[in-house]
């Protein structure tokens, strides 16, 4: 949940005077996204989400994120279109922070995805990948494989505090991932954070993706691996192969994987688990008393890492070695 910065009625009215979307009728902080402050904004003209970008997002990256959302919506993908003000800008400023207004998308996210939801997620991800083709801007994945060793260096003590012996295990993982990581897979725009709370469904079908504030250019298979980790593990820590097959099948309905991509999935999933383990470990250590957001448990992704490590050591999960 997140509302870090408050906006008064006066500030809102002055801000909206620059837009052609009518007068505000409803304005409520909402618990959506963990990096930014989000508000439900209704006006005489429509329904919107107003986002204030907090310090966790680099302002220089915002034109990429907002430009991508605009591009995707223009290319038929169901993501929220940023609303331009009277000067035609989609990146604004409010209360000393960068801000954006995007259209409101209805839909419910799911907590415990069924097979149907996993299949829908896969289809939505492939749709996103194909809709993003041709997007002219480029943002390297600053949380990608090349960054992990540097991210972990200051966190060794935190890892040991979490679980004795973990620092050595992670360092061995990082060396293995660096050695095994494929660097020539099909790549393009990826969401990089398509967790269940960032996907809306309507009547069981994929309806929209939100929160593009980790989007970047990287391997499509890596994005798929992020989803496999986020959607296909059971609450007890077991990897649900049937869910994974449904997710992959949904993906391949829209964009068939190359043999190289399919072969790469085990190491991609291992690496995707590493990326979320590392940021959760960093957030865990950095949480301040009184903070309005509870950090997520890094041990969840430590367990997912262990599953993929063991699968690799035993020759890769059977799932990823055969065509579904």
> Which C-beta is closer to a copy of itself: that of 35 or that of 141?
35
Radius of gyration of the chain (CA): 20
> Which C-beta is closer to a copy of itself: that of 86 or that of 112?
112
Can you tell me the distance from the alpha carbon of 247 to that of 115, in angstroms, rounded to the nearest whole number? 8
CA dihedral of residues 143, 190, 51, 42 (deg, nearest 10): -160
> Which C-beta is closer to a copy of itself: that of 49 or that of 226?
49
Residue length of the chain:
324
- Does the protein bind a copy of itself through residue 111 (CB under 8 A)? yes
Stretch touching a copy of itself by CB under 8 A, among 70-78, 104-112, 144-152, 316-324? 104-112
> Which C-beta is closer to a copy of itself: that of 109 or that of 169?
109
Among 56, 172, 260, 292, binds a copy of itself (CB under 8 A): 292
Q: What is the DSSP letter of 93?
A: E
Can you tell me the distance from the alpha carbon of 230 to that of 275, in angstroms, rounded to the nearest whole number? 12
- Best CA proximity match to 275, nearest among 199, 172, 163, 173: 173
Among 18, 20, 22, 28, binds a copy of itself (CB under 8 A): 28
> Which C-beta is closer to a copy of itself: that of 202 or that of 303?
202
> Which C-beta is closer to a copy of itself: that of 114 or that of 242?
114
- Does the protein bind a copy of itself through residue 10 (CB under 8 A)? yes
Contact present, 310 and 302 (Cβ < 8 Å) = no
> Which C-beta is closer to a copy of itself: that of 97 or that of 309?
97
State which of positions 294-313 bind a copy of itself (CB under 8 A): 294
State which of positions 251-290 bind a copy of itself (CB under 8 A): 287, 289-290
| 140 DSSP β-pair partners | 217
- Does the protein bind a copy of itself through residue 17 (CB under 8 A)? no
- Does the protein bind a copy of itself through residue 24 (CB under 8 A)? yes
- Does the protein bind a copy of itself through residue 32 (CB under 8 A)? yes
Q: Is residue 257 helix, strand or coil?
A: coil
- Best CA proximity match to 156, nearest among 177, 171, 176: 171
Contact present, 223 and 129 (Cβ < 8 Å) = yes
Packing angle of the helix pair 259-286, 298-313 (nearest 10 deg): 150
Token pair, residue 288, equals 């301040």
Packing angle of the helix pair 166-180, 298-313 (nearest 10 deg): 50
For the chain, how long is the longest CA-to-CA vector? 62
Min dist CB 106 to a copy of itself, Å, is 5
Residue count, binding to a copy of itself (CB under 8 A) = 31
Q: How far is CA 96 from CA 11, 34, 91, 126, 134, in A?
A: 11, 19, 13, 37, 33
Among 106, 164, 165, 259, binds a copy of itself (CB under 8 A): 106
> Which C-beta is closer to a copy of itself: that of 168 or that of 292?
292
- Best CA proximity match to 265, nearest among 320, 219, 313: 320
Min dist CB 111 to a copy of itself, Å, is 4
Stretch touching a copy of itself by CB under 8 A, among 8-16, 159-167, 236-244, 274-282? 8-16
- Does the protein bind a copy of itself through residue 30 (CB under 8 A)? yes
> Which C-beta is closer to a copy of itself: that of 117 or that of 129?
117
Please give the residue ranges that form the binding site for a copy of itself (CB under 8 A).
1, 3, 8-10, 12, 24-32, 40, 42, 106-112, 202, 287, 289-292, 294
């Amino acid at each position: 949940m997140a509302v870090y910065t408050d906006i008064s009625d006066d500030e809102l009215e002055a801000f909206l005077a620059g837009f052609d979307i009518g007068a505000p009728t409803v304005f409520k902080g909402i618990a959506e996204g963990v990096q930014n402050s989000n508000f439900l904004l209704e006006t005489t003209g429509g329904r919107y989400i107003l986002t204030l970008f907090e310090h966790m997002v680099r302002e220089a990256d915002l034109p990429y994120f907002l430009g991508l959302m605009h591009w995707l919506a223009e290319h038929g993908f169901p993501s929220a279109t940023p609303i331009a003000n009277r000067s035609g800008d989609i990146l604004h400023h409010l209360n000393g922070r960068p801000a954006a207004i995007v259209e409101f998308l209805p839909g419910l996210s799911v907590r415990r995805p069924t097979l149907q939801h996993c299949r829908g997620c896969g289809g939505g991800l492939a749709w996103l990948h194909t809709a993003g083709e041709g997007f002219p801007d480029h943002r390297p994945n600053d949380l990608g494989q090349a960054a992990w060793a540097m991210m972990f260096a200051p966190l060794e003590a935190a890892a040991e505090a979490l679980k004795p012996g973990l620092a050595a295990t992670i360092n061995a993982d990082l060396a293995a991932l660096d050695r095994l990581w494929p660097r020539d897979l099909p790549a393009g725009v990826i969401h990089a954070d398509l967790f269940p709370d960032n996907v809306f469904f309507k009547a069981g079908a994929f309806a929209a993706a939100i929160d593009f504030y980790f989007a970047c250019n990287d391997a499509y298979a890596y994005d798929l691996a992020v989803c496999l980790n986020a959607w296909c593990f059971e609450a007890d820590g077991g990897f649900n192969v049937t869910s994974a097959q449904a997710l992959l099948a949904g993906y391949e309905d829209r964009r068939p994987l190359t043999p190289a991509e399919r072969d790469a999935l085990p190491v991609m999933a291992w690496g995707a688990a590493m990326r979320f383990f590392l940021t959760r470990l960093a957030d865990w250590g950095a949480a301040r008393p009184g903070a309005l957001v509870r950090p997520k448990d890094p041990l969840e992704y430590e367990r997912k890492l262990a599953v993929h490590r063991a699968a690799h050591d035993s020759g890769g999960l059977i799932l990823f070695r055969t065509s579904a």
